[in-house]
Structure 1
Amino acid sequence: MKIDSNLVVFITGASSGFGFQVGLDLLKSNCKCYLTDKDDIDQNIINQYPRSQVVFRNLDVTDEEGIKNSIEDCVKTFGHLDAVLNSAGIAPLESIIDKNFSNKMIDLCLNINVIGTFNVSKYAALQMAQQQSQNKERRDYAIINVGSIASVNALDRGSIYGASKGAVLSMTLPMARDLGKYGIRVVCMCPGFFNTKMVQQLPEQKLKYLAKLTCLGRHGEPSEFSSAFQAIIENTFINGTHFYLDSSMATPHL
């Protein structure tokens, strides 16, 4: 796929962090973006682009019917769907023996990070497969899921978050095997610590310490995640795999 005005990308978690940055960079490259998030987005950003290029909708990825409707609306608005970024997620950090860490929070984390990612991928894949059957020539499609370094090496207090991101990582390869015959690639990006709103909520001293654990001695910038996303979109042989975007960080016991 090319990063151009013909590309249509569906993004969850688009009001902040990775989803926001990817959407912003794609819009600057004249791509068409269907941006979704449970939280509202900065409308000043959206208003810089015509409605024929960008749409924002509130979407809770725990709402399966809402996901289905949003995918359908994306196609109705832009004519087709080429790629998905599953960026919606939460990161609860509590010890397994913390009395305040309830089953309600466990359910919420798994419903957003795992089931939400799965359902967005499912309805996007159904649409892409349908499109492929109608194409005169085979086209490339991509579903890109956001895992984490926590997918295999979570911090202490990260048992449920790590489990959820481990599930996202684990579903990537079988999804790719299911969908390859339809020309749909599935890739999992596993970022470390980036200068996003979520990460910057950590104490400054801890952020500085974590930065020293990377080979570059700093945290990533959202623009660096975005450029990696675009590289996956453009390289049509990257499939069924995952990679760490963490500057070879050694995750410590904090």
Structure 2
Amino acid sequence: MTSGTNFHGMIAMVTGGGSGIGRAVCQILARDGARVSVCDVNLQSALETVASLEHQGDHVAFYMDVTDKNSVSNALSATQEKLKGTPTLLVNSAGIVRRTRFLEMSEETFMEVVHVNLKMPNIYETTMVSLQGTFLVSQVVCNAMIDRDVARKGSVVNIASLAGKNGLAMKSGYAATKGAVMALTKSCAKELAKTGIRVNCVLPGAIRTPMLALSPEEHVMEGLKANPLGRAGEPEEVAELVAFLLSGKSSYMSGADVEVTGGHGF
């Protein structure tokens, strides 16, 4: 498969790159010439992704816990050293979901999802000492782009979810964090525009990933009955849109929320 996007000479960092949409994004970016830093809390999965990429030798895999600033900074430094440059393409794909009834959800479960998918500062702390998840990775990498004077080439894509717009029964914590990612995208897009960094957001619907596999089959099939295309999407179908949003072909897009849903949720 060929593409109109061209990332030759560019470095990309993808969180959650060890599986699902993140892995597909890595594969599409490598196909289109980018050198990819595959980051995941499961290093073995990240290494497997690297082994699947075109242009072997151009890519690296690193352990990254997106809830730990030191882990994020270490992965960025290692990427800069190994790939001899600073990433100007960033995809925040790391995320988790916990299936729990809203009225029965524990605070611990809710905050576990918040920490990974967004991570807001602890409201009981007097200083903001731990900005993690999508916020933290974006902050660390975008600061590096600015410091290295490559921000004018910068493009960030956050993976949210249709659930962030429409809500999702049994997964209220997940939906809440994805709605926050959408708002964060728009805020960052406004603040970073003057630096040249564009920030956009993708809202996938039901996509055939390991996360979807966690849902009971009967619930998935019931949901697909309301989908005009009548099927789940493939990770590659999301990844192609991510590549477009990262590329110069979307040069007048920033702060956008773009749905990839098969028509579900109109």
TM > 0.5 fold call: yes
Matched, 1:85 2:105: no
From 245, 248, 254, the equivalent of 1:232 is 245
Structure 1: gaps (5+ residues)? none
> CA–CA distance in 2 between the matches of 1:154 and 1:68?
33
1:248 and 2:252 are equivalent in the alignment:
no
Equivalent-residue separation in structure 2 for 1:218 and 1:103 (angstroms): 34
Indicate the larger mover: 7-16 or 25-34. 25-34
User: Following the alignment from structure 1 to structure 2, what is the Cα–Cα distance between the partners of residues 96 and 173?
Assistant: 27
Shift in Å, 1:210? 1.8
Letter in 2 for 1:142: S
1:5 aligns with 2:11: no
Moved over 6 A (4+): none
Superposed displacement of residue 42, structure 1 = 6.2
Match of 1:65 in 2: 70
Match for residue 128 of structure 2?
none
SS at match of 1:243: strand
Q: Partner of 1:176: helix, strand, or coil?
A: helix
Q: How many residues align?
A: 245
- Secondary structure of the structure 1 residue equivalent to 2:45: coil
Give the corresponding residue for 2:165. Answer: 152
Q: Which residue of 2 aligns with 1:24?
A: 27
- Using the size of structure 2 for normalisation, the TM-score is 0.85
1:86 shift after superposition: 0.4
Which secondary structure does the structure 2 equivalent of 1:61 belong to?
coil
In 2 relative to 1, CA 48–243 (structure 1 residues): closer, same or farther, beyond 3 Å?
A: closer
Query: Hey, what's the Cα distance between the residues in 1 that align with 2:50 and 2:243?
Result: 20
> What corresponds to 1:41 in structure 2?
45
**Structure 2 vs 1, CA of residues 161 and 223 (structure 1 numbering), >3 Å: closer, same or farther?**
same
Displacement, 1:195?
Answer: 0.8
Aligned-residue offset at 1:10: 0.3
Corresponding letter in the other structure for 1:86: N
Corresponding residue to 2:107 among 96, 103, 109: 103
Deviation, structure 1 residue 113: 0.3
| Equivalent AA in structure 2 for residue 117 of structure 1 | T
Secondary structure at the aligned position of 1:240 is classed as: coil
What's the CA shift for 1:44? 4.9
Deviation string 1:159-184 (CA, Å, 9 cap, x unpaired) is 21111111101111110111111110
Matched, 1:172 2:175: no
For the residue of structure 2 that corresponds to 1:248, the secondary structure is coil
From 186, 205, 209, the counterpart of 2:199: 186
Distance 2:134 2:47 in 1: 25
* Partner secondary structure for residue 168 of structure 1: helix
RMSD of aligned residue pairs (Cα, Å): 2.1
Residue 45 of structure 1 and its aligned partner are, at CA, apart by 4.7
Q: Tell me, yes or no, if structure 1 residue 54 matches structure 2 residue 67.
A: no
Among 116, 121, 126, the alignment partner of 1:112 is 116
TM-score, normalising length: structure 1? 0.89
In the other structure, the counterpart of 1:219 is: 232
Task: Please give the per-residue CA displacement for 1:118-171, whole angstroms capped at 9, x wherever unaligned.
Answer: 000001110111233xx6xx8321111111111121221222111111110111
Give the aligned partner of residue 75 of structure 1.
80
Measured in 1, the distance between the counterparts of 2:40 and 2:92 equals 11
Deviation track 1:60-101 (CA, whole Å, cap 9, x = no partner) reads 111111111211222222212111110000111211222xx3
Letter in 1 for 2:86: H
SS of corresponding position for 1:208: helix
CA contact (8 A) 1:3 1:230 kept: no
